[in-house]
Chain A
Amino acid sequence: MSPNPATGPLIAMHGVDKWYGDFHALKGVTLEVRRGEKIVLCGPSGSGKSTLIRCINHLETIQKGRIVVDGIALDDSARAVDAVRREVGMVFQSFNLFPHMTVLENCTLAPMRVRGTKKAEAEAIARRYLERVRIGEQAGKYPAQLSGGQQQRVAIARALCMEPKVMLFDEPTSALDPEMVKEVLDTMIGLARDGMTMVCVTHEMGFARQVADRVIFMADGAILEEAAPEAFFRSPQHPRARTFLGEILAHH
């Protein structure tokens, strides 16, 4: 356990193993994320990227190893899970906005129910973050009335309203039409500039180059390579990483 939560790593995963039934999805994963650090996680489909980040906020349980988030040891107790989820925001590939709530209501639900924030204050916070993702004027609309890119920016604002210490992104742009990818990436780049700690599963190599402190490559449930983005893209060490990058470049 990190002795001083204020200076230790924000996320520490040590020897984490995860099985889905008989299927070994994470194999001895060890990863530390410093405060303010931006990590890009990549690897072929089925390599366990989503599983890894979903373990950080306990959307998945692990069977072996240890995860500590902001000094909180993430056991399966409700108290630890609650405490960790307050500090960790997540953005999903499919946005997962609540269709029956307006954009503003999407953003105020958790602060009001989880933090006990008063409605007026929650709305003020929500409007601030909606402005920040440049979607303030859409606050009264329903998710279905927005484009994919706008929905994803609302999803980012919704997570930010809980004022998390780290944001997890699981392929936030893969469900978007190409012309909307940039607006979401720009939002994420802005967030990174403001010092947010981020763990992003993405194959957007331009984003990785621009923002990431470290690129982590996974295959078959294990971390095979970690490097600064330039080094990783220029000279990947592991043969699987080389094959993977070859395929990505062929597609872009």
Chain B
Amino acid sequence: MNYTLDFGPVVTGLPDLLKGCAGTLVLAVSGMVIALVIGVVGVVLRESPLRPLRWAVIAFVELIRNTPFLVQIYFVFFALPLIGIRLAPTPTAIIALGLNGGAYAIEIIRGGVQSIHKGQVEAGFALGLHKRDVFRFIVLRPALRAVYPSLTGQFVMLTLTTSIASAIAAYELTSVAKLIENESFRSFEVYGTITVLYFLMSWLMMRAFGLVSRRYFSYPVK
């Protein structure tokens, strides 16, 4: 092997790569917010007394968890225009990421809700609170705390999954890297660099999750 490393194109492209990182973080954070909302709402609907609602949630979760994300993102990209919604690649990617992350979040958060002692719920009812308030004020926070490591692990996964959005040319790091690679043919240098960048972003994410945890989930338990 007689390969000489040349990081010139990477250095020239660094501002673009950093913008790509920002794009990735936008996709990741927006996707997470949507996933969290879908996760919480999905758990509530999953326990609904209305059977069709429960089934819809189960079907959604199974569908997402048993199909590849690349196919899901293509599906959203080509299905939305059929119902008259035209979106640019980046919003499309955010929706797909949110749906995908949401399905996993439903399963994870559901586990957290089930881990809450039923005495907590009964105490809420005995005090006269309605079901909705019992969920919102009594169950939700301890449930999220219980599954926080799995949930944030899933969200780091989501951050890395954003790279698949390059398939529809959403604005994020891998798309930017592909452009630089196409012009320079410096595949190893380019992908080596974004490997490091993805790693740093994951690390940053974990730190941020740690801060959130200290703020919201640091109440003492026995």
A113–B137 alpha-carbon span in the complex (Å): 10
The yes or no answer to A99 lying at the interface (CB within 8 A) is: yes
- Chain A 72-86 interface 0/1 with B at a Cβ cutoff of 8 Å (1 = within): 000000000010011
The yes or no answer to A2 lying at the interface (CB within 8 A) is: no
Which of B23-31, B94-102, B123-131, B169-177 contacts its partner?
B123-131
Option from B117, B126, B130, B133 in Cβ contact (under 8 Å) with A90: B126
- Contact assessment for A85 and B125 in the assembled complex, using a CB-CB cutoff below 8 Å: yes
- Contact assessment for B123 and A82 in the assembled complex, using a CB-CB cutoff below 8 Å: no
Option from B126, B137, B145, B220 in Cβ contact (under 8 Å) with A109: B137
- Chain B 187-222 interface 0/1 with A at a Cβ cutoff of 8 Å (1 = within): 000000000000000000000000000000001111
The yes or no answer to A172 lying at the interface (CB within 8 A) is: no
Option from B117, B129, B133, B221 in Cβ contact (under 8 Å) with A144: B221
- Chain A 109-129 interface 0/1 with B at a Cβ cutoff of 8 Å (1 = within): 110011000000000000000
The yes or no answer to A232 lying at the interface (CB within 8 A) is: no
Option from B120, B129, B219 in Cβ contact (under 8 Å) with A114: B129
Question: Which residues of B lie under 8 Å from residue A110 when comparing CB positions?
Answer: 127-129
- Contact assessment for A114 and B128 in the assembled complex, using a CB-CB cutoff below 8 Å: yes
A-B contact count (CB 8 A): 68
Near B by CB (< 8 A), chain A positions 43-98 give: 57, 59, 82, 85-86, 88-90, 92, 94, 96-98
- Contact assessment for B126 and A89 in the assembled complex, using a CB-CB cutoff below 8 Å: yes
Residue of A whose beta carbon sits closest to that of B125 = A59
Q: Number of A residues whose C-beta is below 8 Å from B?
A: 27
- Contact assessment for A92 and B122 in the assembled complex, using a CB-CB cutoff below 8 Å: yes
- Contact assessment for A114 and B145 in the assembled complex, using a CB-CB cutoff below 8 Å: no
A144 and B220 in contact, given A59-B125, A113-B133, A114-B127 (Cβ under 8 angstroms): yes
A99–B217 alpha-carbon span in the complex (Å): 11
A144–B127 alpha-carbon span in the complex (Å): 21
The yes or no answer to B142 lying at the interface (CB within 8 A) is: yes
- Chain B 104-127 interface 0/1 with A at a Cβ cutoff of 8 Å (1 = within): 000000000000010110110111
A142–B127 alpha-carbon span in the complex (Å): 19
The yes or no answer to A100 lying at the interface (CB within 8 A) is: yes
The yes or no answer to A159 lying at the interface (CB within 8 A) is: yes
- Contact assessment for A92 and B128 in the assembled complex, using a CB-CB cutoff below 8 Å: no
- Contact assessment for A142 and B219 in the assembled complex, using a CB-CB cutoff below 8 Å: yes
- Contact assessment for A162 and B128 in the assembled complex, using a CB-CB cutoff below 8 Å: yes
- Contact assessment for A98 and B120 in the assembled complex, using a CB-CB cutoff below 8 Å: yes
Near B by CB (< 8 A), chain A positions 168-196 give: none
- Contact assessment for B220 and A85 in the assembled complex, using a CB-CB cutoff below 8 Å: no
7 sample A-B contacts, Cβ–Cβ < 8 Å, listed by A number = A89-B126, A98-B137, A110-B129, A113-B133, A114-B129, A144-B221, A162-B127
